[in-house]
Structure 1
């Protein structure tokens, strides 16, 4: 039994222990807070926030605007900037390059390449994945397979593994066939014991599991119909200038160029330079403030843009929508084949489009665009919401298309595949870039490094 004095001593000792323990815990928490503040450069937080926003295309004036005054695309950039500013231990990004231009993509690639914590990302841009990722996780047959290296390394490694797997599968199937044949021939008679031995070997082989046959994933094949020929010039832009009102600055002044059926050009340039505006001018959605745009009377143009899916009647199925748009197609089976060329099959064609994914709705828009049979494709960020396989199929379709194309895209790989020329929209004019898209990307990288380099006193 404890005396009162001993109980008091024990109580005091216990309290001291608790106080000491709480002190240590508070000290550790305080150290963690200091470390976190150091990681965030709390004393430089405002400057860091400005640097991130500037990298994503926000000017000084835009950085002081309220978020409610931005469009949906710019709000997505704000959300991305917030995630980068917080610098979490685990950063999850789903298609971070959507709504970005090439300048911002180059900046983001460099920013994520040097990210010091865990980054898990979903992206359709192979070029971006090559620049950022050190491991690729492939989800197939409800399993995850991890590959070391960037996306190109993943593709090469996977092909080698599948080749070896197929060789092993074929060898095993040959051994099984030979063994079964031997057992069938010599199951009785003088060599029956050998047949029984091989039967046991075959049973063990089957029990341990045979190598699965490599089943290639279904590839998508897109196509644009042959629009036929029209005599040049198809479209002439002569002395064109444009601004939205008398109170706004000129976006373009004195543009002069021509477009024919063999034109394959990509428009690049800083955000706000007017790339989408130029597509609208070419497509006759906007009229020039001065100058003129002369079009061949027989020229058909088809424009794909980021907000095209918003024009879909989501209560209709893809089949009904296409039948409504193209009344000359009277047979549903024919329209099914048309839609099927763009990767929508079976129930996807007849269910309400509100049940389709964003990528599937984009395929409906591509089918709608293709069946207009345009001579000139005007593509404004066509890769948003498309997966890598569909983007490759789109690139093949554009390469095999017999008409002209003007493209705005943040996907360097798509531009490299389909564009013969690079036009830079900047400083109220359009100039042809002397090199290819990779040299332009390097130019942007050097420009970005110069912009963000610490100033020398």
Structure 2
């Protein structure tokens, strides 16, 4: 009898978990995060670190806990997977607490924003844009109250100073009591804005076009592997501002490596201006730093022509590292600070063309905004791979879609491309429901 009751309990629990649909549901989650059917059968140990992060994210979503904690969930995703995850989390029925540097993603998912400021938590209703607007209004009103109190206190102190010992000393004493009560009741604090960061890439100077010519280029990694690209033709100049988009595995990073001469075309040719300098930022660039060295030592070693430490300090300081951060071992820096060292390294080469492969990973929102401003004021060209819709919207003039072995220009802007991806995701949800 006891065993039958236990068996019934197990069956009820399996029904609650939806065990009969578990494999289908797992496949849907993995598909949404970019895993093909063939990839879903591979062992976890055979995947790279970035894909293992996706597996960990898929596991968390599959378990569907009462409290889901996500720390930068979009870091290893492409735009397709970001849109899928946004739609998935938008309808999450339980508690979700998330840290993310993607404003667009926060806008699509969050209903409340928690701001950590001066070791206190401040809760704002609405998405990220609503938080920014509400915080601006609150700080504007706070500043008005602060200025009003300061003016009132100055007038009161002036009255007390002028009439404290004369015929109007009783009025002065009354004013002094009013002033004391105001102080005891608590004065409005002066608004202290978050420290702003300013990044800058130097003017590389002019070189005549064409800077890069890609002519009839096809590429695959080996004679037995599939073609990544076939018969590509396009040009790049100093006024090029392009974002590469497309599903994971379509070859966006590969294209940057071909342009940067890190890979050679299987057929066709890539002609480069003999004077062109290129600076390529990629996700693993910070991993090449010697963490036993300080940022100052590393940069002095890379650029021995800079003999004055103070000059190099200024160069590093332009990317938000100052004081002790420049002289301590880089292993003591955060991931975001190490990324800034990498940006300083690229900037000092004064490249004509920036090749940026997921530059926002490990950067906070303020640094991303500073990077966007630096790119907009940069006098050279730029090709960007990013999962951050907001950054792409700010800096890219054209959207190139890498898919099915070709590169085609998207007819609209990045937000119209996001709408296209969202419609595709919603269509997949309907088919699988």
Q: One fold, TM greater than 0.5?
A: yes
CA distance in structure 2 between the aligned counterparts of 1:347 and 1:193, rounded to whole angstroms: 55
**CA displacement 1:391-430 (0-9 Å, x = unmatched):** 0000000000000000000000000000000000011000
By how many angstroms is 1:216 displaced? 1.3
By how many angstroms is 1:353 displaced? 0.4
Q: Does 1:283 align with 2:299?
A: no
Matches within 5 A, 1:177-192: 177-192=154-169
Provide the TM-score with structure 1 as the length reference.
Answer: 0.92
**Counterpart for residue 29 of structure 2:** 52
Q: Does 1:145 align with 2:117?
A: no
**Counterpart for residue 57 of structure 2:** 80
**Counterpart for residue 367 of structure 1:** 344
**CA displacement 1:352-406 (0-9 Å, x = unmatched):** 0011110000000010011111000000000000000000000000000000000
| Candidates 391, 395, 419, aligned match of 2:396 | 419
Matches within 5 A, 1:56-455: 56-454=33-431
Assess if the C-alpha contact under 8 Å between 1:241 and 1:291 holds in 2: yes
CA distance in structure 1 between the aligned counterparts of 2:432 and 2:48, rounded to whole angstroms: 33
CA distance in structure 2 between the aligned counterparts of 1:212 and 1:42, rounded to whole angstroms: 56
Partner secondary structure for residue 200 of structure 2: coil
Aligned length: 429
Partner secondary structure for residue 399 of structure 2: strand
CA distance in structure 1 between the aligned counterparts of 2:46 and 2:260, rounded to whole angstroms: 28
Structure 2 gaps of 5+ residues are none
In our comparison, the structure showing a higher alpha carbon Rg is: 1
Assess if the C-alpha contact under 8 Å between 1:238 and 1:291 holds in 2: yes
CA distance in structure 2 between the aligned counterparts of 1:134 and 1:257, rounded to whole angstroms: 43
- The list of structure 1 runs, each at least 4 consecutive aligned residues, that deviate by more than 6 angstroms after superposition, is none
Provide the TM-score with structure 2 as the length reference.
Answer: 0.97
CA distance in structure 1 between the aligned counterparts of 2:399 and 2:270, rounded to whole angstroms: 21
Compared CA separation, residues 38 and 391, structure 1 to 2 (3 A): farther
CA distance in structure 1 between the aligned counterparts of 2:79 and 2:18, rounded to whole angstroms: 28
CA distance in structure 1 between the aligned counterparts of 2:61 and 2:234, rounded to whole angstroms: 41
By how many angstroms is 1:159 displaced? 0.4
**Counterpart for residue 15 of structure 1:** none
